[in-house]
Amino acid sequence: MFKIRRAKEVEPTAPGQVKIKKRSKVAGVMITQYVEELPESMTTPDFTQKPIALTIQEGKLAIFRAVVTGNPTPTVTWVRNDGEMDEERNITVFDATAGDYQLQMPDVAADQADTYKCFARNEYGKAVVTAALNIIEVGFKKSKAMQQSRTAVRETPQDFKKALKIKVDMEAKEEKKTEIDERFWELLMSADKKDYETIYAQYGITDYRGMLHKLSERKIEREQEQSKVVERLCNLKPIELKADGDAEFELEMSLKDPKSKIFLFKDGIMIPFELDTEIKHGLKQVGKKFVFSINGVDPDDAGLYQVEVDGVKIFSTDFKLPPVEFLVKIQDVKAEEREDAVFDCVLSQPLKKLKWMGKSNPLEQGEKYDITVSEDMLIHSLVVKDCLVVDKGIYAAVTGQASCNAWLIVEADNDPKTKGKKKACKTTRAGGGGEELLKIAEEQQAKNQIEREKLIAKARAEAAAAEAEAKAKAEAVKAAKPKAKAATKTKKKTDKKAAVEDGAEKTEEEEEEKDEKEDVEGEVPAEEVADAEEEEPAQEKRKRVREGPLVPDTVIDPGVYFTGGLSDVTAIIGTDAELVCRLSSEDCDGVWYKDGNEITATEDICIVKDGTYRKLIIKNCKEDDAGKYRCEADGRKTEAALSVEDPPRINPDDLTEFRKPVTIKVGKDATFKLSFVGREPMKVQWYSEGEELFEDTHIRTEKSSSHSCLVLTRCQRKITGEIKIRIKNECGTIEAITQFVVLERPTPPLGPVDIIESSSTCIEFKWRTPKDNGGSPITDYILERQQLGRNSWKKLGKIGPEPKYRDADVDHGRKYCYHIRAETDEGISEMMETDDIQAGTKAYPGSPSQPKVESAFKDCINLAWSAPANTGGTNLLGYNLEKRKNGSNLWGHVNPPNEPITEKKYAVKDVVEGFEYEFRVSAINISGAGKPSLPSAFVFVRDPKKPPGKVIDLKVTDSTYSTLSLGWTKPTEEEGVQDEAKGYFVELRPAENLEWGRCNSNPIIMSSFTIMGLKSMAMYWVRVLATNDGGDGEPQEFNNYIIAMPPPVRPQFTDKKMNTFMVMKAGNSARVNFNFQASPIPAIKWLKDGNPVGKHVTVSNTDTSSQMMIAAAERHDTGIYTIIVKNLVGQETSSVEIRVTDEPKPPGPVELEETVPGTVTVSWTPSPDEKKDDRLHYIVTKRDSVKRSWQTVADHLFNNKITVINIMPGRQYKFRVYARNDMGLSKPSESTIWEVKRIKGRFNKKTFSLTLPATNNCSFETPPSFSVPLKMHKSPESYECYMSCAVTGNPKPHTWYRNSISLNTNTNYYITNTCGVCSMVILKVGPKDTGDYAVIAENPLGRVDCSTKLVVEGKNTRICICYILNFTPLATCLNNSLFSPSFFGLG
C-alpha cells in the first residue's frame, strides 16, 4: 500500500549523488544534501530570511524577498506551482546592498494568484521554500465573484450542524475588526471620487458602504475645523513628478487671518520650507494659490505630505516615485596611483540625484569626489579624484530599492626613482562609459517620451469615457429605480403567498440567506453606491427576532464521529491513490461514495478497515477515477476530491538515448528526436544554451501528440552547447538535456609570446593555446621562421602539443620572426605571427655605488662598493677600478683591463704618499663594461690621524625666542693623543627626545654658531664636538638644558606718562593702552574692581603692549581697571579709573514750603540719574522781582532739600534746581512764584499812594564778540588736539567749520560751550584733519568769526600746548570740562 499525496517536483539524481533531508533553522525550509559528507568550510544552501505570503490588491506591486546563505554561493531560481513564469511580468532582482533576492511582479493581476517556490542550489545541495500570493479583486469583478460564491453556497446542501458551525465562525470573524491606517482617511478626504477605488485597493478595504458613511462623517468634522481658519478651499491638485526632476502640489485657499502660520508635514514629521523655491522644500504664493515644491527629488522624498494651518489639517497627498532601474550599471575600474577614476551608470527614469556610497559610507560633492548628472538626468557619474591606495574598495550607486556596485582597484606606483618623494598628480582618467552611454541614454529618453505621450493620451481617453459612462449610468439608474421597486414588491407578495399555501416553515437562517441574495441581486457598482450614499441616507435593515431556542438545551450523545477527515489527493495517471480518514470508534463501518454514488470493492478499488482508520485505495488511476469521494459512518460524513493528472512523461530508454552527446562536423545537419506521453494539449519548446529556438532557415521543428523532432541544418561551431527540450501541459513540465558538439578546425594561437630566454646561443618563448580548439584536442603546433632582412621563411616543422619552443639555431644579435599554427584532427588553424625577437641582445650593466674609503695609510688605500641594481640580464664578470690625482683630468686603471676585480672591495697600493686621490668603479658582464660610478671623496695617502679633544669654554653668547648663539675655544693638541681640529659639529636635542640631531651637515671652521628655527620657550640640550680626518672627538655639552628665550627681564611699564583717571560719555568707546618690556613673554591679566573683566571687554596683547577696549561703554563699566603683567622673573601692576557717565537728567518738580517766617524750604524730586552716578549733585538758584537776576543759592548739594533765608515780604521769588555731574549741567526744574504779603501793623498809620512812571523792560542781549581768539595748532599724528576760544554775547549760538564745512553734526569732533568757552577736541589726529578751522558766532544782533590752521606732523614730533584764559582760572575750566588735565598737556 502506498499513500499518494500532491505531486512534488522530482529532479533526477546524478550518479554518485545522494539525497539527505536536513532541517533548517527557519521554519518551512526544506534542505536536500547531495553528498554524504561536506568538505571543510563548505555548506549546503539555506534561507536566513524566507519569502512571506502576500495578500495584495490587484494592480499593485508584489515583491517576494529571500536572503540565502551557502558556500559556494547558491544560484537562486523562482518557479510557480501552477503555470509558467512570464519573464516580463515576473522580474528577478538581486539587491547587493540589502543582500536579498527579489521576485517582483508589477501591476499584479488575478491570474498570478498562486503558490511560488524559491530554490537555492549549489553543488552540495539545494533548499526550497514556498510562499502564497493572494490577489484581492476590485470593482465589478469582485462584486460578480462575491455573487457567484454566495449562489454556490446556497445551492450546496449542508446539514444543520455544519451550517451552524459556519454561522458561528462567520460571527467570530466579524468580531475581529482591523484598525484602519490614519493615512487612508487623510488621502480619502483630499482625493476626488474617481480615485476612491484606487485608495480602497491600496489599503485592502472591501466595505465600501461602511467606509463611505464614515467618510461623510469625517468630512463634516474636518470642514468644521477648517472653517475656523480658512474661508474657502478648492482646486486641490495631488503631488506629481515633473519632467525636470522636481515635484509639486498646489491648492487654492483664502485664509481668515493673513498672519496664520502654514506648516508642512511629511509622514507626520514637520519639515522646514522657505518662500524661496530654490531650496529643498519651497512655497510660492500667487494670490490665493499656494504651490509647494520639492527640488531635486530623491528616493527619500517619498511619503505622505500634509498641509496644516494653525494646527488644522487642510490637505494630504501621497508621493510615490516611479520604479527606477539601472540600464547600465557601474563597472569595475582599475586606476593607477594619483589618477582619477570614473564610475558611470544609466537609469531608466530621470532622477535628479542618486545616493553614492564608498566603502559603506555616503559620498558628497567636494575636493575628493565630483558627482555630476547629465541634462536628461539619466547618466550619473562619480569621479574619485587623485586616487590613492587607501581609496581601494567597493563603490555603490543606490536609487531606492535598486542598487549596483563595483570595485575600484588602485595600482601603487612602485617606481624606485619616485620612492620617498611626492608623486605628481596625473591628468588621465580611468573608467567611464563614453559615447556608448550617451547613445543608450538618448534611446531611453526617447522611449520615456513616447510612454509619457501614450499615458497622456490614455488619460484623456479614459476621462472622456468616464464622463460618458457616468452620464449613461445616471440616466439608467434614474430609469431603473421605479421598475426595481415595483418588481421587488411583486416578488415579495408572490413569495409570501406561496409560503402560506405550502405551509412551509422557514428558519431564520433561510430568511437571512434570502435577504442576502436579494441584496446581491440588487447590488450596484461602487461609484453608484457612493453617489447614493451622499444623496439619500441608507435605510436600516429589518431584523427578525428568533422565538425560542435554536437547538434544544438537552445534551445528546454525539455517537461515532470523525476524528480525522479526508484530504484532497492528487495522483498521476497509472499510479495508486489512497484516501484515508479516522473514526472515533473501531466498530463502526464506513460507506464510500463517489460523486454521490456508493462504491464497493473491485479489482481496482480496495476498501480497507484498519482499526479506527478507513481507507479507500484506487489502483492504476485513470482519468475517470477523478471526482468527489465521501465516507459516511453513523450519519456523519467527510469528503474530499481526487484529482488525476496526466503530466508529460518520457520513456526512460528514450531519455537515456536522447542524453547521449551528438557530435558532427561543421556544415552538416543534426537531428534530435524524443517521444513522450501526456494529456493534451502539450507545449513543446527547444532551447540551445538556454535560448529558445524558433523556426528559421537553419532550424526546423516537427511536433505531434507523441513526439517532437528538432532538425539543425548547416550547423556552425557557435551552436555547440546544451540542447534542451521542455514539454509542458496543465499538469506539469518535464525537461531533457543533451550535449551537441560541432567539430571545426581550431582558431589561431593567442599572443603575444612570452620570451623565456633570449641569449647569443638560443631563443626560447611560449604562447597561449587557441581560444577554441574546434572540439578536438591540439595534436601539434607547426612553426616557421624568418630572419629579419630576408624574404624567405624556414619551416621548423611540427613541435608537439606543448605551446613552447626553444630555437638553438640562431646568430648572436640577429632578429627573428615566427609563424605559429595549431593542428587538430579537423585541420590546421590560421597562423599567428610573433614580434621580432633578438638573439643575444647586448645589455650593459648599470653603475655600481660610489666607492667608499674604508681606511687610508701612507702606502695603501682600502676601497669598497656595492653591485649595480641592473646587471643587464646576465651575471657580472667583475669590476674595473680607476684612479685620478687631485688637479688632473686623466683617469688611470688600477687593475689590468683583462683581469677584472671579482670582489666588491680592493686595496690600492699604487699610490704616492702625500698625494690626494679619487676613485671610480665600473661593472663588467658578457656585453662589456658599463658606465662608471660617481667618483669617491678625495683621500690623502698618509697614516690616519687621532681625533681631536673637547672644545673649551663653551658658552651662550645670545638668545631669542627662535635662535641661540654659541661660542667656544678650539681644543688643544697633544701629539699621539689628540690632533688638531679641522672643523666642528653642533648637535641639538629637545628635552623630550633621546636622539641628537646635527645642526650643520658639513663641519664649520669658525668657533661660533647660531642655531635657527627654535620653538619659543622650548627646552633644548646643546653640545659641540670637534672633528678632523681621524674622526670626531668627544662632545662638550652644557650641564643643564637651555630655554629658547631672550635673557630674563622683570616686567616694567615703558610709558612715561600713564593715565590714571578717564571720564567717558556713555555710548562712546573706551581704550586703555599699556606698553611694557618683559622676558620671557609674560602672562597678562585685566581686572575690574578686583574681578576679571566681562566678555564685552576686548583685550589685545602683543609681546610689548596690551590694549583694553570697550566698544560701547555703559554706566556699569565704571570702575578701577588693573593690568597685571607677570612672568618667571616677577610681576608689575598698574591701574586706571574709568568713569562712564552722561549728561544728567533734570530733577523732578520743585515744591516750596514756609516753616519759619522769613525763610522758605525748597524741596524737589531727585534726578533719575542720582542712583546711577555717585558724583551727581544739585545747584539751587533764585530770582526775585526786584533784582530780576538769577543768583546761586547753594552748590554741591547731595540732598533734595534746602532752606533759603532772607525772604523779604512783598517780593515775588522763583527758584531753579539744576543737576550736575562730570559731564555738565542738566536743564533746570523751575518752581512756582513764591510771595509773602506784607501784614499791616496794629497801629494806625497814614497811608499814601505813589504812582511810578511806566518803565520799559530791560534787555540783556548783546552782539557776539571774541574775547580770546583761536590760536594756530601743530599736532603730531595720532595725538589729541584741543582748540578753544572765548565768546561773549547773548544769545550765544556758534558753529565750527573746517574748510568751510560745518562740523556741528560730525561725530568725529567733540564740541562743547561752557561758560562762554567754545572748545573742540579731535581725539586722534590724522593727515585728513589738516586744514583751516573757523568758529562763527551769530545772533540777531550781529555776526563775528575767528579762524586758525591745524598742521599735522609726524608721530615722533612732540609739541606743547598752552592755553591762555584771561578771564577764568584754568582750574575752573578743568573742573567744568569732560577731559582730564592730561588732555591740556599738564600731565
Cα-trace Rg, the chain: 57
Beta carbons of 382 and 356 less than 8 angstroms apart: yes
Beta carbons of 57 and 102 less than 8 angstroms apart: no
Beta carbons of 708 and 684 less than 8 angstroms apart: yes
What's the 3-state SS for 1142-1162?
Answer: CCCCCCCCEEEECCCCCCEEE
Minimum mean pLDDT range among 204-218, 632-646, 1064-1078:
204-218
* pLDDT one-digit tens code per residue, 17-74: 567 888 787 878 889 988 888 888 889 999 988 898 888 888 888 889 899 999 999 9
* Nearest residue to 328 via CA among 378, 281, 291, 366: 378
Query: Which string of DSSP letters, residue by residue, matches 1287-1309?
Result: EEEES--EEEEETTEE-TT-TTE
Beta carbons of 1345 and 1334 less than 8 angstroms apart: yes
Spatial separation of the C-alpha atoms in residues 132 and 129, rounded to whole Å:
11
Beta carbons of 204 and 180 less than 8 angstroms apart: no
CB within 8 A of 946, min separation 6: which ones?
976, 977, 978, 979, 1030
In three-state secondary structure terms, 113 is coil
What's the 3-state SS for 224-286?
Answer: HHHCCCEEEEEEEEEEEECCCCCEEEEEEEEECCCCCCEEEEECCEECCCECCCCCCEEEEEE
Residue 518 has pLDDT above 50, yes or no: no
1340-1374 burial: b if 16+ Cβ within 10 Å, else e: eeeebebeeebebeeeeeeeebeeeeeeeeeeebe
Q: Is 365 exposed, middle or buried (0-12, 13-18, 19+ CB in 10 A)?
A: exposed
Alpha-carbon separation of residue 1117 from 522, 1062, 1063, 1167, 1222 (angstroms): 92, 12, 11, 21, 16
Beta carbons of 28 and 130 less than 8 angstroms apart: yes
Per-residue pLDDT band at 536 (split at 50, 70, 90)? very low
Per-residue pLDDT band at 156 (split at 50, 70, 90)? very low
Of 506 and 775, the structure prediction assigns the larger pLDDT to: 775
* pLDDT one-digit tens code per residue, 158-168: 444 444 444 33
Spatial separation of the C-alpha atoms in residues 444 and 771, rounded to whole Å:
36
* pLDDT average, residue stretch 103-121: 90
Alpha-helical (H) ranges within 75-191 are: 140-155, 160-175, 182-189
Beta carbons of 61 and 32 less than 8 angstroms apart: no
* pLDDT average, residue stretch 1182-1193: 87
What's residue 953's pLDDT?
92
What's residue 805's pLDDT?
93
Query: Which string of DSSP letters, residue by residue, matches 958-1001?
Result: EE-SS-EEEEEEPPPPBTTTB----EEEEEEEETT--S-EES-S
Residue 512 has pLDDT above 50, yes or no: no
* pLDDT one-digit tens code per residue, 730-760: 888 899 999 999 999 999 999 888 888 887 7
Task: Give the chain's mean pLDDT.
Answer: 80
- Count of all residues that appear for the chain in the document: 1387
Half-sphere exposure of 276 (CA within 13 A, CB side): 3
Minimum mean pLDDT range among 6-10, 728-732, 1034-1038:
6-10
In three-state secondary structure terms, 608 is strand
Spatial separation of the C-alpha atoms in residues 1133 and 659, rounded to whole Å:
108
| 547 grid coordinates | 422565538
Reported in sequence order, the residue ranges of 846-948 that DSSP labels E, i.e. its strands, are: 852-856, 861-864, 878-885, 892-893, 905-908, 916-925, 928-929, 939-940
Spatial separation of the C-alpha atoms in residues 266 and 497, rounded to whole Å:
63
Sheet holding 750-758, edge to edge: 750-758, 763-768, 804-807
What's residue 1272's pLDDT?
87
In three-state secondary structure terms, 840 is coil
* pLDDT one-digit tens code per residue, 1118-1175: 899 999 999 888 999 999 989 888 888 899 999 998 878 888 999 999 998 888 887 8
How many C-beta atoms lie closer than 10 Å to residue 1192's C-beta?
11
Residue 1317 has pLDDT above 80, yes or no: yes
Amino acid at 20: I
Beta carbons of 247 and 241 less than 8 angstroms apart: yes
Minimum mean pLDDT range among 311-325, 343-357, 766-780:
311-325
What's residue 320's pLDDT?
75
Residue 677 has pLDDT above 50, yes or no: yes
* pLDDT average, residue stretch 685-697: 89
Q: Is the peptide bond before 1291 cis (omega within 30 degrees of 0)?
A: yes
CB within 8 A of 355, min separation 6: which ones?
298, 299, 362, 397, 398, 399
What's residue 491's pLDDT?
52
Phi and psi at 646, nearest 5°, equal: -130, 75
Residue 1308 has pLDDT above 80, yes or no: no
| 986 grid coordinates | 653642533
**What is the dihedral sign for C-alpha 397, 398, 401, 407?**
positive
Beta carbons of 1159 and 1170 less than 8 angstroms apart: no
Spatial separation of the C-alpha atoms in residues 698 and 547, rounded to whole Å:
83
Estimate the crossing angle of helix 208-226 against helix 526-535, to 10 degrees.
Answer: 50
* Nearest residue to 327 via CA among 375, 372, 378, 377: 378
Beta carbons of 1268 and 1285 less than 8 angstroms apart: yes
Reported in sequence order, the residue ranges of 1102-1144 that DSSP labels E, i.e. its strands, are: 1105-1110, 1119-1126, 1131-1141
What's residue 838's pLDDT?
86
Spatial separation of the C-alpha atoms in residues 100 and 321, rounded to whole Å:
21
Query: Which string of DSSP letters, residue by residue, matches 43-86?
Result: EEEEEEEPPPPEEEETTS-EEEEEEEEEESPPEEEEEESSSPPP
